[in-house]
């Protein structure tokens, strides 16, 4: 951020009075521009023993498979955002249970929080949206594990197929970090069924 959204004057970076972090500030307007984490909301749509994945038509990870998910909009709830993204990216009609929250990931190194909700496909009338090349149902043995776009998606799928065997789907929260070898490390920090 170089110029102020309001007056187009130059931005300075400093710690505002009473704060403890460096912020983007406009001395002209006396305004502080706070930057906070983004929420990415999505679903894991299920049909019989299969899950619905989308093949990405956009960078990053173009051509890789992912769950329908995207940035939450102002004025919507996390669940409404996840359902909207599922409609936009997979053209899918879904319903959710009374307690659909399934996985939550904190990604402090990229200032993101991911939330995935369990959902059931209402019908097989799905089709790729503008951000997807292809939308397809996969049983566990059909999942293209080496072609999954994001570690959080892979982890959610792994948890789902493991939970499918017990019929129990606890809500889990994970912290995601990079190890010194730049490998993704996903640590379980909370589960509704310890």
Contact residues: Zn ion, CB under 5 A: 4, 6-7, 9, 26, 28-29
CA angle 47, 48, 51 (to 5 degrees): 45
| Residue among 17 and 59 whose Cβ is closer to Zn ion | 17
Yes or no: say if 188 and 172 are a contact pair by the CB < 8 Å rule: yes
121 vs 31: CA distance, rounded Å? 46
Shortest approach of Zn ion to residue 47 CB, angstroms?
Answer: 51
Yes or no: say if 134 and 54 are a contact pair by the CB < 8 Å rule: yes
Shortest approach of Zn ion to residue 193 CB, angstroms?
Answer: 50
Shortest approach of Zn ion to residue 28 CB, angstroms?
Answer: 4
| Residue among 35 and 38 whose Cβ is closer to Zn ion | 35
| Residue among 29 and 95 whose Cβ is closer to Zn ion | 29
| Residue among 35 and 191 whose Cβ is closer to Zn ion | 35
Shortest approach of Zn ion to residue 21 CB, angstroms?
Answer: 20
């Amino acid at each position: 951020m170089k110029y102020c959204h309001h007056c187009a004057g130059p931005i300075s970076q400093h710690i505002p009075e009473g704060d403890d972090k460096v912020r983007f500030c406009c001395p002209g307007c006396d305004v502080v521009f706070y930057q906070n984490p983004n929420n990415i909301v999505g679903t894991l749509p299920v049909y019989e023993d299969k899950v619905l994945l989308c093949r990405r038509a956009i960078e990053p990870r173009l051509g890789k498979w992912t769950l329908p998910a995207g940035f939450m909009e102002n004025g919507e709830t996390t669940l409404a955002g996840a359902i909207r993204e599922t409609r936009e990216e997979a053209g899918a009609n879904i319903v959710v249970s009374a307690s659909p929250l399934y996985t939550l990931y904190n990604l402090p190194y990229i200032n993101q929080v991911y939330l995935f909700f369990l959902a059931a496909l209402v019908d097989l009338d799905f089709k790729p949206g503008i951000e997807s090349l292809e939308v397809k149902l996969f049983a566990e043995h059909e999942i293209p594990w080496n072609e999954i776009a994001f570690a959080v998606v892979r982890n959610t799928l792994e948890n789902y197929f493991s939970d499918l065997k017990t019929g129990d789907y606890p809500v889990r929260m994970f912290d995601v970090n990079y190890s010194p070898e730049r490998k993704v490390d996903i640590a379980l920090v909370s589960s509704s069924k310890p």
